Amino acid sequence: MRLGLAKGPVDPEVIIYGRTIAESPIKNLDLKSEDKKPTNDFLKRPEPISKQIDNPIFSPRPLNSGIRSKCDIDKNLQYQTVYFDIETTGLDKKDEVIEIAIVDDSGKTLLDSLVKSKVDINPNALKIHGITKDMIADAPTLKDLEDEIVKLVGNKCVVAYKISFEMRFLTDRIRRSIAAESCCMLKFAEFFGRLNNEPWPYQWQTLKFASRYVKYDWYGPHHRALSDALACRAVWQYMMKAQGNN
């Protein structure tokens, strides 16, 4: 992460997701501005953890496989979709989940729970999500919730905003149970179509911006798991409807 002088207040999502996140102006931008798109397909480029295949909606992988490798989509196979979000003690590998939420395609809350952690909450993370040590003192651990989470995400398509960040905090068993996964942030970057000077062609946008763009009426506080999962669902479904995949 590069540090420097900012022109104004920095959104917490910029800190979480990196310097390529931007708050682009919405005014006078055409939803289907094909002239802004480069010829190469953004979704052919791999995520840091999950590998995408040519122009996918999802990137399936064999069940019970610990390897996230490329594989062909079975066109006749239909997966149920769930949307999830987590809040963590911080951004490092040693950090842990302190809140998790999962919602289904209809917007029904399947899981919304604080999570007890052995790791102290980083003060910078606390400023973002507002979850304190006292709030999680009597909460179940991620291991306690593992069976329930596996039942909810097992053999399903899982969508999250920057899914590569979320996945690294889950247990191996939870990750192996997932049939397919997709990153709403990368999909929206392509959908929005603002070009970038980085190696990847499209500029990442914050979830807050993406939700405003699709005119989603935000539910609950920003940077809490349930609120963010519902916003992710709204953005994803808007894109699928606009592209005729509803």
Residue the block writes with tokens 């709403």: 184
Q: How many CB atoms lie within 10 A of CB 239?
A: 20
Instruction: Check residue 197 and give its pLDDT.
Output: 75
Report d(CA 21, CA 15) in Å as an integer.
9
Report d(CA 154, CA 156) in Å as an integer.
5
Cα distances (Å, whole numbers) of residue 210 to 13, 26, 184, 231:
12, 10, 10, 9
Instruction: Check residue 22 and give its pLDDT.
Output: 58
Instruction: Check residue 79 and give its pLDDT.
Output: 82
Amino acid at 165: F
Instruction: Check residue 21 and give its pLDDT.
Output: 58
Q: How many CB atoms lie within 10 A of CB 107?
A: 13
Can you list the residues of the chain whose pLDDT is less than 70? 1-77, 245-246
What DSSP assignment string belongs to 76-125? T----EEEEEEEES-SSTT--EEEEEEEETT--EEEEEE-B-SSPPPHHH
Instruction: Check residue 181 and give its pLDDT.
Output: 92
Angle between helices 225-242 and 184-192 (to 10 degrees): 40
- According to DSSP, residue 156 is labeled S
Reduce the DSSP state of residue 183 to 3 states and report it: strand
Tokens of 142: 């991620």
Instruction: Check residue 183 and give its pLDDT.
Output: 94
Residues 6+ apart with CB under 8 A from 13: 21, 206, 207, 208
Instruction: Check residue 200 and give its pLDDT.
Output: 72
Instruction: Check residue 196 and give its pLDDT.
Output: 81
Do the bridges between strand 59-60 and strand 180-183 make them parallel or antiparallel, or are there none, so unpaired?
antiparallel
* CATH superfamily to which 12-242 belongs: Ribonuclease H-like superfamily/Ribonuclease H (3.30.420.10)
Report d(CA 41, CA 52) in Å as an integer.
11
Instruction: Check residue 170 and give its pLDDT.
Output: 96
